């Protein structure tokens, strides 16, 4: 039940593969800290829909999501299948202070298996923005950062835009 500082790019914990959670009850405090830290970030920055445990320095497979479609913890989340279509999104990350956006290619639709704190196994079909978000957060659990997925434009340049420019464009999710 505390707000942590967000680990920033360069911190080795963000590049570690996180451990699978065996005892779900044991991560209750971690889940609360993820929620509190995400809520504090949203309040301060006005954006932020998800957070992964390594972003507060914990190398365990836990993420916390706040969206209109799903809110809560996802423990040991796993993409079990995906639809055929890939979509380009503008993506940013707290661990880069959400200072800039790059274009990434994500599955338009995924099916995710995960566990809750009580140890219940659940399935979620996610599409669009939620699908993109979950792929971003699950990547964190494998030490993969959004910039690793940045795609080049037809001129061989990274179409990177700063947060202020993204705001001016009306906060687009699709790129
Ligand atoms: Zn991130």
Let me know if residue 88 belongs to a domain.
Answer: yes
The CATH number of the domain holding residue 106 is: 3.90.45.10
Q: Could you confirm whether 45 is annotated as catalytic?
A: no
Count the domains in the chain: 1
Task: Quote the CA–CA distance of 121 and 103 in Å, as a whole number.
Answer: 33
Measure 44 CA to ligand 1 centroid, in angstroms: 17
| Nearest-10 Cα torsion for 154, 160, 164, 165 | -10
CA of 106 to the centre of ligand 1 (A): 14
Identify whether the C-beta of residue 131 lies closer than 8 Å to the C-beta of residue 173: no
**pLDDT for the residue numbered 90:** 95
β-pair partners for 111: 81, 125
Alpha-carbon 156 to chain mean position? 26
Expressed as residue numbers, the domain containing 89 is 12-168
| pLDDT of res. 35 | 97
CA of 51 to the centre of ligand 1 (A): 7
From 61, 156, 138, 154, select the one nearest 146 (Cα to Cα): 138
Q: What is the pLDDT of residue 174?
A: 81
Classify residue 175: in a domain, yes or no.
no
Distance between CA atoms of residues 165 and 36, nearest Å: 28
Instruction: Report the alpha-carbon distance of residue 127 to residue 141 in Å, rounded.
Output: 20
**What local confidence, expressed as pLDDT, does residue 47 receive?**
87
What string of pLDDT tens digits covers the 175 residues of the chain? 789 999 999 999 999 999 999 999 999 999 999 999 999 999 988 889 999 999 999 999 999 999 999 999 999 999 999 999 999 999 999 999 999 999 999 999 999 999 999 999 999 999 999 999 999 999 999 999 999 999 998 899 888 999 999 999 999 988 7
Q: In this predicted structure, what is the pLDDT of residue 153?
A: 86
Residue 32 lies in a domain: yes
Return d(Cα 147, Cα 95) in angstroms, integer.
11
Structure confidence at residue 23 (pLDDT): 96
In the prediction, which pLDDT does 45 show? 86
pLDDT of the residue at 15: 98
For ligand 1, the distance from its centroid to the CA atom of residue 66, given in whole angstroms, is: 14
Asked if residue 133 belongs to a domain, the reply is yes
Tell me, yes or no, whether 148 lies in a domain: yes
Ligand 1 geometric centre to CA of 38 (Å):
11
Catalytic choice (137, 164, 165, 167): 137
**Rounded to whole angstroms, how far apart are CA atoms 25 and 29?**
9
């Amino acid at each position: 039940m505390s707000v942590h500082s967000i680990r920033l790019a360069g911190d080795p914990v963000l590049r570690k593969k996180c451990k699978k959670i065996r005892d779900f009850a044991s991560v209750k405090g971690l889940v609360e800290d993820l929620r509190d830290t995400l809520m504090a970030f949203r309040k301060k920055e006005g954006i932020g829909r998800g957070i992964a445990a390594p972003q507060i320095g914990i190398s365990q497979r836990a993420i916390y999501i706040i969206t209109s479609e799903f809110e809560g913890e996802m423990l040991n989340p796993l993409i079990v299948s995906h639809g055929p279509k890939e979509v380009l999104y503008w993506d940013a990350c707290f661990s880069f202070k959400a200072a800039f956006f790059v274009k990434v290619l994500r599955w338009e639709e995924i099916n995710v298996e995960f566990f809750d704190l009580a140890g219940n196994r659940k399935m979620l079909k996610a599409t669009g923005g939620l699908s993109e978000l979950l792929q971003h957060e699950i990547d964190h659990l494998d030490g993969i950062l959004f910039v690793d997925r940045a795609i080049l434009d037809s001129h061989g340049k990274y179409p990177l835009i700063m947060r202020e420019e993204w705001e001016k464009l009306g906060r687009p999710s699709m790129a």
